[in-house]
Amino acid sequence: MDLLEKVKAARAEGSFEKTMAILNEEVAKNPENSVVHLQVAWTHDALGKEHDAIPAYEKAISMGLQGQDLSDAYLGLGSTYRTIGEYTKSKDVFDKAATTSDTSIKDYNGALLFYSDKLDQKFN
């Protein structure tokens, strides 16, 4: 079973602490793996540890994520800032994502533009 399969299995069990243990071990072995840092960020978010998720998202993005992973990282980071009430930072992340040359993010441009001025609103 590869790393992502282990992580998905642990998440499916609802065991985010186990997920984090798997990821921490992987970060120790492969600290330059941007996808692992993205998984760490998502897991922190799932644990309600948004302030811990932010540096993991930022690290993953700075390490050169591409395609859907990059889109997911920008969306996660912007949403996390929104969750903690950092609306300006959230908007900045979404604006930056909207100007990237990555085509997978450009596909989300409409959603990014729609939400960028509604960051303090709640949607049901």
Nearest Cα residue to 108 out of 58, 68, 80: 68
pTM metric for this prediction: 0.80
Query: What's 30's domain CATH number?
Result: 1.25.40.10
Averages of pLDDT over runs of 10 residues in the chain (124 residues) are 85 90 93 96 95 98 91 92 92 84 59 61 56
The pLDDT, as a whole number, for residue 44 is: 96
pLDDT at residue 100, rounded to an integer: 73
Structural domains counted in the chain: 1
Query: Domain residues for 109?
Result: 3-121
Q: How far apart are CA 107 and CA 24, in angstroms?
A: 32
Q: What is the pLDDT of residue 47?
A: 92
